[in-house]
Amino acid sequence: MSASLHPEAEYAAFLAEGRLMLQRVASTGEYVFFPRVAQPGSGRSDLEWVEASGEGTVYSYTVTRTKPPAADYVIALVDLVEGVRMMSRVVDCDPAEVRIGMAVRAQPGEVDGAPAILFAPAAEARR
């Protein structure tokens, strides 16, 4: 599937379907995230959408403190096995248990009503 037309809109549409999609350079197999009209640096535009494995590790994170009744939440940078990094939230665990290097798995969810790909500890992830 060509990703050359509307990367931002197409990614949003995938999100709405609960899918984590990455761009891949057809000629080299390298992955690109965030979605763009061309690979950063090289300018290669033979990009195609592929489904992400959903497997990753926490590169860094922070517990965002909130005032009750709102709950604290974990913002994280997740390194996907495809070699790209994305911001997300780590859910389905106590914020105090999140660690750098922790294995996580993508799952569809939402943030304040908007569709989003979230991550949960790999052992507890729902498929």
Partner 1 sequence: MSGFPRGRTAIVGVAVTGIDSKPGFSAIELLAKAALMAIADAGLTPDDIDGVFSTLPEDPFSAMSVPEYLGIRPRVVDSTRTGGSAFQVQAMWAALALEAGLCDAALICYGSNQRSGAGALVRSGGIPFPYEALYKPRNPTTSYAMATQRHMHQYGTTREHLAEVAVAARKWAQLNPDAFARDALSIEDVLGARMISDPLTVRDCCLVTDGAAAVVMTRADRARNLPGKPVYLLGAASATWHRNISTLDDLTLTAASEAGPRAFAQAGVTPAEIDVVEIYDAFTINTILFLEDLGFCPKGEGGRFVTEGAIAPGGRLAVNTNGGGLSCVHPGMYGLFTMVEAATQLRGLAGDRQVSDAKLALSHGNGGVLSSQAVTIWGTDETL
Nearer to partner 1, 76 or 106 (CB): 76
- What is the smallest separation between the CB atom of 34 and partner 1, expressed in angstroms? 4
Give CA–CA dist 46/111, Å, rounded.
Answer: 32
- Would you call the peptide bond into 34 cis, given omega within 30 degrees of 0 as the criterion? yes
Nearer to partner 1, 27 or 75 (CB): 75
Question: Containing H/E element for 92?
Answer: none
Give CA–CA dist 35/73, Å, rounded.
Answer: 25
Q: Which residues bind partner 1 (CB under 8 A)?
A: 8, 11-12, 15, 33-35, 59-65, 73, 75-77, 85-89, 100, 111-112, 114, 116
Nearer to partner 1, 53 or 99 (CB): 99
Tokens 């911001």, residue located? 87
- What is the smallest separation between the CB atom of 23 and partner 1, expressed in angstroms? 12
Q: How is residue 80 written in tokens?
A: 């996907």
- What is the smallest separation between the CB atom of 61 and partner 1, expressed in angstroms? 6
